[in-house]
Every structure is written in C-alpha cells, then in structure tokens.
Structure 1
Amino acid sequence: MESSSSSTSGISLRPFKASDADDFLSWAGDDKVTRYLRWNTITSREEALAHIQQVAIPHPWRRSICLRDRSIGYVSVRPEAGDDRHRAHIGYAVGSEHWGRGFATAALEKAVACVFESFPFLVRLEALVEEENLGSRKVLEKVGFVREGFLRKYGFNKGEIRDMFMYRFLRNDQIGTKK
C-alpha cells in the first residue's frame, strides 16, 4: 500500500539486515526514542548488531521502517498463541529526527495492511500506549485504531508501573479513517 502523501512515499517496510546496524544505532541509541519501549537504549554498534541478529531477525514479524532503504525505526507484530491467536500486539518507533513528518503513520498503515495478509487467522491488533505518549496516540488514531479503554497501573516499563491506553484495529476496519 503506497502512502498518499508524496513526503512519505520513500517509506517502506522490510526485514532487518545485519547491515542496518549503524542506522539502527542512530535511532535506537536515542533515549527520546526508547523512552516508551520495553528495551533499553542501544549504546554501541556491537550491541545494535547483536539486537538485530538475536531479537529483530528471529522475531515472528518485525520490520525495519526504511526511508529510501535506510532504517529509521521499526514496527513489530506478535500474535498471541493457542485460543488467543486471533489477536496480536503491535509496537513501533521512529527516530526522533523524523517525528512529526508522517513517517510513523505511513509505516503503520503499511504494516496493518500487510499483517492481516501474513496472518490470515488474525482478527484484532492491539496497541498499548502510555498515557503521556501523545504522539503515539495520535499516530494510532490517524491510522484508524480505536481507543477502547484506559488501564490503570497496567504496564511495567523502565522500573515503573504505568497507566496505559488500549487501542484496537479489527480486520474489517478501514485504514486511515481518522486523517
């Protein structure tokens, strides 16, 4: 699915490669980017390469968000197992120098369209977003995710229990309905 905006037309999704290590370090090494992620800021090229090889590549569905084939972030979908395999969790991040330019929205639109094809049994995507992460909440809403609830003291991140919003996107929902 191509983005309708020419400013985001260079955005693509692809599996991570070991050669992404330097680009990965440039955004995953930024505390502003990793603030809401469950993993810590990456501090060296070696750590970036290890993360790509041991976490990103083996992951069931983790893609590099690329701007003209350079990694500027990631989107990740992890389906549940067993009787809960009809739903999956989605997470994403984009380098802070690219915030506010529509790249996260374009990447998430592409991911949502692709994921339902990749996982035919999937009916529901869920995103948990910390209350104060207004930028991420706006991205989800632009893509068409619906806020379903506020979960008090729900998520544990960086040593704290935090309040979270639950967003959902169903297979039959329309992408980009709230632009």
Structure 2
Amino acid sequence: MEKYSDSDITLRPLEISDADAAVKWYMDEKVSEFCSWEAFPSPESAADYFVRHDLTHPWNRAICASGRVVGSIAVKPFRGSDRCRAELGYGVASEYWGRGIATRAVRLAANAAFVEWGHLERLEAVVDVENAASQRVMEKAGFVREGVLRKYYLLKGKPRDAVIFSLLSTDATVNYFIDA
C-alpha cells in the first residue's frame, strides 16, 4: 500500500474530466454504505449524478493524492441567521482508505473554509454512529466530538444515530496560513 506525505495530498476545484474517477467511488458499495445514495448501478448514472450534483455544488473540491483524483470533499454553508456555521462532508475511493488521505483533505478543506469565509465561526461534520473510520478521521483532523444525535437522519429509509463533530475558527488546530 502506497503511503502519501501531507504534501502529496491536495485539493482543487472539480472538473468535468474528474467524472471517470468519481464513477469509481459512486459505484463502490463500501463508499456508499454510510452515504445518502446507494451505489450507482451504471457508470452513466454515476457520471450523471457527478455532473448534476458535484459540479454544481458551490464548494466541492477534488481530493488528489500525488495528482490523482481519489475523492471529493464539500463544505456547505448554512444560510440566514445560521450563516456563522457550515457542514463538511467527503468521500474517498475505498482503494485509498487507511492512508491518511481523508484526514489531510479534511484539514485542508477546514482551513480553506475559515480563510475564504471570514464570517465562519463553526464547521460541523455529522458521522453515522457506526462509521468508526470517519469518526477517527474527524478526530485526527482536530474536530471535537460533541455527542450523539439520536435518530438524526434517514439512511436509506431508516432512522440513524449520528455523532456530531465541530471545529471552531478559534481552535488551535485551525491554520490560516496553510495552502489548500
């Protein structure tokens, strides 16, 4: 298993040419297990979702490992009186799991969000209570586990508990000088 250094992991805006890479993780049942979507049945349906959902998202970045697109990460700001907070979510192709890629990507995205949105005070991530790997990613990235939200969301039609994590703009792990 190839290991990556922090400098090997970068974020960049998603492009239409990333559709082939996205199809791999959108069709992977391991990746979709804790996501709102089922693994897509065909490359065409996965590519269509990528174009309609990912490319139109206002802040969605390709996660690159040594220049190869291996996942995506998005930050979605809340609106109105909640505009001081945003939610982060990511997906990485399962063949790249366990290499520190997601942790580095979360750090980069969090730092970039705080720099780009000066009004942002809080970044949240909601992780399924059974998704231990993503919980570890959030903790390693400096997010604080705040608690369990009971029956917080529906996952494939069933109510699920979730763990909520947060990172505040004033937390020591936020680096306003990191390159995203």
Q: Considering the TM-score relative to the shorter chain, is it more than 0.5? A: yes
Contact 2:61/2:73 (<8 A) preserved: yes
**Equivalent residue number for residue 97 of structure 2:** 99
Q: Distance in 2 between matches of 1:45 and 1:6?
A: 28
Residues 1:45 and 1:18: Cα distance change in structure 2 (over 3 Å) = farther
Q: 1:6 Cα deviation (Å)?
A: 5.4
Cα root mean square deviation, aligned: 1.6
Q: Which shows bigger deviation, 95-104 or 48-57?
A: 48-57
Residue type of the alignment partner of 1:148: E
Q: 1:116 Cα deviation (Å)?
A: 0.8
Q: Distance in 2 between matches of 1:127 and 1:22?
A: 27
Q: Does 1:110 align with 2:125?
A: no
Residues 1:160 and 1:140: Cα distance change in structure 2 (over 3 Å) = same
Does the residue aligned with 1:9 lie in a helix, a strand or coil?
helix
Q: Does 1:154 align with 2:152?
A: yes
Deviations, residues 146-166 of structure 1 (Å, cap 9, x unaligned): 011111111111111001111
Q: Distance in 1 between matches of 2:20 and 2:7?
A: 23
**Equivalent residue number for residue 141 of structure 2:** 143
Does the residue aligned with 1:12 lie in a helix, a strand or coil?
strand
Q: 1:22 Cα deviation (Å)?
A: 1.4
Residue type of the alignment partner of 1:136: S
Residue type of the alignment partner of 1:38: S
Runs of 5+ unmatched residues, structure 2: 175-180
Residue type of the alignment partner of 1:71: V
Paired residues, number: 172
Does the residue aligned with 1:147 lie in a helix, a strand or coil?
strand
Deviations, residues 9-54 of structure 1 (Å, cap 9, x unaligned): 3211111111112111112210100111112223333223322221
Q: Distance in 2 between matches of 1:161 and 1:96?
A: 25
Q: 1:69 Cα deviation (Å)?
A: 2.7
**Equivalent residue number for residue 14 of structure 1:** 12
Q: Distance in 2 between matches of 1:106 and 1:144?
A: 11
Residue type of the alignment partner of 2:70: I
Residue type of the alignment partner of 2:164: M
Q: 1:134 Cα deviation (Å)?
A: 0.4
Identity %: 44
Within-5 A mapping of 1:77-88: 77-88=75-86
Residue type of the alignment partner of 1:146: V
Moved over 2 A (4+): 5-9, 42-49
Q: 1:7 Cα deviation (Å)?
A: 2.9
Deviations, residues 60-86 of structure 1 (Å, cap 9, x unaligned): 211111123322111111111010010
Within-5 A mapping of 1:34-53: 34-53=32-51
Q: Distance in 1 between matches of 2:152 and 2:30?
A: 22
Runs of 5+ unmatched residues, structure 1: none
Q: Distance in 1 between matches of 2:50 and 2:172?
A: 32
Residues 1:6 and 1:67: Cα distance change in structure 2 (over 3 Å) = closer
Does the residue aligned with 2:63 lie in a helix, a strand or coil?
strand
Residue type of the alignment partner of 1:122: L
Residue type of the alignment partner of 2:162: M
Q: Distance in 2 between matches of 1:139 and 1:102?
A: 8
Residues 1:30 and 1:6: Cα distance change in structure 2 (over 3 Å) = closer
